[in-house]
């Protein structure tokens, strides 16, 4: 075993371990990004939709984040979260190496997420907002220059780079002040772009023909990027910890902020794509629970669930409730139809023409519903009963 680490011994310190904070943050964020990105890609594959460049970029970000999260676990394993003086020389070298690799991967992960967001917005405004497309191209350029420059600064900290964690290797190392100043400068540029990514959709979606509730939902999803902006600002507040010689203990706050920032950026980038799926799953669960609670009384009186094809020849009997109507089908069956169009969040409303699949659905829609006659009324307020059924005596 190697001798004790190079830091000066301080007898007043105790061998504490604060690594649990890093482990908890890494575990929670890993679960979030695996779930969100898997749902995003899986939904597209299930619907047989082609994967776009923003999807490939988010998958790249997932791979980088998972690799970086694995490095965080390795760092904790070799002593991150403890005072450096209680680690061996081998543990110190391994810890410095993992920390440097984690810094590089964090930069690449945020870079790919931002590019994915840019191309996602471009896909939404395709065919409209032509001048605004140049704004997105400008954001892509600034993002590439900023993160590319940050990668170069990281790679040139030492010559050779191995000297950062292996001081015995011949070469030169830049001062910690250079690293701290570069982090502050690039964080400032990154924060400006974060604000653009979070606020720019207000302009794009502000004039779309959708209800106020839908607009608020869409803007809340895109505006949640301000959480990433907040995480980056908090991280800058602890950036001087890089100058502390006791790096395994002092940098835990910086790395927790970095873990949250890069993983949360990917999760928020997935939200607009997976929100309709989450909304649909929630509604199905509520429907199953509701039907289960009243299924015994309803199905006993009016029969089981029926499948009905509704064509162009049907009658709508509005019951005064928005999004719900009664209809007679071609076979004479009576049913209740729930129109859920108001619950969707059309991110491309007014931007694209209806697809061929949508035109086919205008001719006929197959739905699975329960017969619910009691809630339907004619304009003369008399109840409507299915043909052939026994009407109860009043």
Over residues 72-117, the pLDDT tens digits come to 999 999 999 999 989 988 999 999 999 999 999 999 999 999 999 8
What are the pLDDT digits (tens) for 28-76? 999 999 999 999 999 888 888 888 999 999 999 999 999 999 999 999 9
Would you say residue 142 lies in a domain? yes
pLDDT mean over 331-359:
42
Q: What is the pLDDT of residue 366?
A: 41
- Please state, in angstroms and rounded to a whole number, the distance separating the CA atoms of residues 75 and 77: 5
Burial of 80: CB neighbours in 10 Å, binned 0-12, 13-18, 19+? buried
Number of domain units in the chain: 2
**174 and 112 in one domain?**
yes
pLDDT band of 207, cuts 50, 70, 90? low
Looking at residue 201, what is its pLDDT?
A: 66
The residues with which 190 forms a beta bridge, in sequence order, are: none
The pLDDT value recorded for residue 286 is 76
pLDDT at 214: 67
Class of residue 52 by CB neighbours under 10 A (exposed 0-12, middle 13-18, buried 19+): middle
CB 37 within 8 Å of CB 45? no
Would you say residue 264 lies in a domain? yes
- On whether the CB atoms of residues 236 and 251 are closer than 8 A, the answer is no
| Co-location of 65 and 183 in the same domain | yes
Residue 46 lies in a domain: yes
Residues 136 and 247 in one domain: yes
pLDDT at 205: 63
Q: Going by C-beta distance under 8 Å and a sequence separation of 6 or more, which residues neighbour residue 145?
A: none
Q: What is the pLDDT of residue 30?
A: 96
Stretch among 17-21, 142-146, 346-350 having the lowest mean pLDDT: 346-350
Lowest mean pLDDT among 1-15, 118-132, 260-274, 373-387: 373-387
104 touches 151 (CB < 8 A) = yes
Domain span at residue 138?
A: 20-281
Quick one: how many helices (H) and strands (E) in the chain?
10, 7
Q: Are residues 227 and 275 in the same domain?
A: yes
CATH number (domain holding residue 153): 1.20.1070
Question: 116 phi and psi, to 5 degrees?
Answer: -60, -40
Q: Are 73 and 26 in contact (CB under 8 A)?
A: yes
Q: Examine the domain organization and report whether 178 and 242 are in the same domain.
A: yes
Percent of the chain with pLDDT over 70: 67
Specify whether 318 is located in the same domain as 353. yes
Q: Tell whether 235 and 337 lie within a shared domain.
A: no
Question: Residue 277 forms beta bridges with which residues?
Answer: none
Q: Is residue 221 part of a domain?
A: yes
Task: State pTM to two decimals.
Answer: 0.69
264 and 219 within one domain: yes
């Amino acid at each position: 075993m190697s001798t004790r680490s190079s830091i000066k011994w301080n007898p007043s310190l105790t061998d504490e371990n604060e690594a649990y904070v890093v482990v908890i943050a890494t575990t929670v964020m890993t679960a979030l990004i695996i779930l969100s990105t898997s749902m995003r890609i899986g939904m597209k594959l299930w619907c047989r939709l082609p994967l776009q460049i923003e999807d490939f970029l988010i998958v790249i970000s997932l791979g980088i984040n998972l690799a970086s999260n694995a490095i965080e676990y390795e760092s904790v394993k070799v002593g991150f979260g403890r005072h450096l003086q209680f680690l061996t020389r081998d543990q110190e070298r391994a810890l410095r190496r993992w920390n440097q690799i984690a810094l590089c991967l964090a930069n690449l992960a945020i870079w790919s997420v931002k590019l994915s967001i840019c191309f996602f917005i471009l896909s939404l405004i395709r065919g409209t907002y032509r001048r605004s497309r140049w704004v997105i191209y400008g954001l892509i350029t600034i993002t590439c220059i900023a993160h590319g420059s940050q990668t170069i600064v990281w790679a040139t900290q030492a010559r050779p780079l191995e000297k950062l964690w292996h001081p015995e290797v011949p070469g030169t190392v830049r001062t910690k002040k250079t690293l701290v100043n570069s982090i502050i400068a690039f964080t400032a540029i990154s924060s400006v772009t974060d604000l653009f990514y979070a606020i720019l959709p207000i302009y794009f979606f502000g004039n779309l023909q959708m209800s106020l509730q839908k607009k608020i939902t869409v803007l809340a999803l895109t505006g949640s990027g301000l959480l990433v902006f907040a995480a980056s600002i908090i991280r800058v507040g602890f950036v001087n910890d890089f100058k502390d010689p006791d790096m395994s203990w002092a940098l835990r706050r910086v790395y927790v902020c970095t873990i949250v920032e890069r993983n949360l950026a990917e999760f928020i980038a997935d939200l607009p794509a997976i929100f309709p799926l989450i909304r649909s799953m929630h509604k199905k669960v509520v429907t199953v629970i509701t039907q289960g609670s009243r299924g015994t009384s309803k199905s006993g009186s009016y029969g089981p669930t029926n499948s009905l094809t509704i064509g162009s020849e049907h009658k709508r009997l509005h019951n005064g409730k928005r999004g719900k109507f009664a209809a007679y089908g071609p076979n004479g069956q009576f049913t209740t139809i729930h129109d859920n169009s108001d619950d969707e969040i059309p991110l491309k409303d007014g931007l694209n023409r209806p697809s061929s699949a949508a035109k086919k659905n205008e001719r006929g829609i197959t739905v699975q519903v329960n017969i619910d006659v009691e809630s339907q009324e004619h304009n003369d307020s008399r109840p409507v009963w299915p043909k052939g059924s026994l009407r109860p005596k009043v």
